[in-house]
Amino acid sequence: MSNYQDHAKLRTVGLHVLFWVIYLLLWAARDLAFHDNYMDNLRTNATTGWHYVPFIYFNLFYLVPKLLLKGRYTQYLLAIVPGILLVTYISYHLHYWLFSSRLEGTIEVAMFFRSWEGLAVILTEVLILFALAMTLYLLQQWYQKERYAKELEKQKLEAELNLLKSQVNPHFLFNSLNSIFVMMEKDRTKSKSMLVQLSDVLSHQLYETQKRSVPLQLEVDNLKNYIELERTRHGDLANVQVDIQENLNGHQIAPMLLLPIVENAFKHSKSNSDYWINIGLGLEAHHLSFQVENSQGQNRNHKGGLGLANLRRQLGLLYPNKHHLRIDQNQNAFAIDLKIELDDHPLSYS
């Protein structure tokens, strides 16, 4: 058994012991209304209350999970009501025996527990203890279910995010390798530079995307590598203008959020004639501003494709109520304006 399991068991036992200690202390204080010696009350309750323990745990660990939680309510009532009456009957006679034969000068108290009023007091005590134990047990069950549900939701979100990340830019590798192959025949130096940039982009996508957040500067460096690869691949046909703020250290961002926007611009601006792409990134305090605008290419009704659909979903999961995405499209241009309020832990499951 692991140390964690040992610790959990000890913690559970400790909480149960604490419950019974608090119960005895509080009930002894309540009995000061009948007898003004607190230690006497404490000893009396410890003597007369021991038989409550097996009843409470038989109910919590057998009757509740076997009957109540399985919807067998009639059977549960048929079991618990006689149990309450039996415990009350035992406690009723135990109190009378204790006060009549063991404690001197308490004959009046003994006769009280021989009356209907005494029986009602003991029944009330049993019902209160039963209700308190049930309340704490059901609260614990609710808490465990909530924690389990949150853990499932967290795993579901992480699986969904990993799937979305795996769908980003699936054809990029093929196009880049093909361009490098062609460039080798024209300019070996430039093809080597492209190969290094491609290696950096793939390394980032392979290792950094599994993290919850990465340094913003690292994400921007990866973006620059991608832009240079595409700028080289498209050659003189593409007029690419880049304005990215320097010194972005000290800020974090979820990985692979910005790249799909730029990939979308290169993919859909391409045409048989000259085309243009403008990319801008700035940061003020914790607010990131990212704009990408491109000329309309052959497909004037692309609306962003799968990449931007994934982006919307990721933003909703990673930055709920902390982002604004605006897309504008006309006959000549397609523009995306993204604003994100950055923090140190972009992935949250609260």
DSSP string across 168-221: SSTTHHHHHHHHHHHHHHH-HHHHHHHHHHHHHHHHHHHHGGGSS-EEHHHHHH
202 plus 227 within the same structural domain: yes
* Residues 185 and 153 placed together within one structural domain of the fold: no
| Domain C-terminal end among 107, 137, 161 | 161
Based on the fold, state whether residues 120 and 257 are members of the same structural domain.
Answer: no
> What does the pLDDT read at residue 291?
95
How many structural domains compose the chain?
2
Q: Are residues 144 and 271 in the same domain?
A: no
- In this structure, the answer to whether residues 144 and 251 fall within a common structural domain is no
Domain match, 129 and 175 both: no
295 three-class SS: strand
Residue 35 lies in a domain: no
Determine contact, residues 302/341, Cβ cutoff 8 Å: no
Query: Looking at the structure, do residues 122 and 148 belong to the same domain, yes or no?
Result: yes
**Helix, strand, coil percentages in the chain from 3-state DSSP, rounded to 5:** 65, 15, 20
CATH number for the domain harbouring residue 228: 3.30.565.10
Between the two ends of the chain, the Cα-to-Cα distance in Å is 31
Residue of 86, 191, 159 whose CA lies nearest to 313: 159
Closest CA to 348 of 213, 183, 233, 239: 213
Could you say which of 110, 133, 161 is where a domain stops? 161
Query: Is 143 found in the same domain as 60?
Result: yes
Mean pLDDT by 10 residues, the chain (350 residues): 63 79 77 71 73 84 84 88 86 73 58 72 82 85 80 67 55 69 76 79 67 85 86 81 87 85 82 82 91 77 62 83 90 90 56
Q: Give the pLDDT confidence score for residue 299 in this predicted structure.
A: 55
Helix (H) or strand (E) segment spanning residue 77: helix 73-97
CA atoms within 13 A on the CB side of 18: 7
Whether the CB-CB separation of 304 and 327 falls below 8 Å is answered with yes
DSSP E strands: which ranges in the chain?
214-215, 238-244, 252-253, 275-284, 287-295, 323-329, 333-341
∠318-252-327 over CA atoms, to 5°? 50
Q: How far apart are alpha carbons 155 and 169 in whole angstroms?
A: 24
The pTM of this model reads: 0.52
Domain boundary among 132, 161, 190: 161
Range of the domain at 248: 167-341
Instruction: Answer yes or no: do 316 and 228 share one domain.
Output: yes
Residues with Cβ within 8 Å of 326's Cβ and at least 6 positions away in sequence, in order, are 336, 337, 338
Residues 253 and 288 grouped into a single domain: yes
Residue 348: what pLDDT?
Answer: 42
Which residue in 51, 52, 34, 50 sits closest to 99, CA to CA? 34
Please tell me the predicted confidence (pLDDT) of residue 166: 57
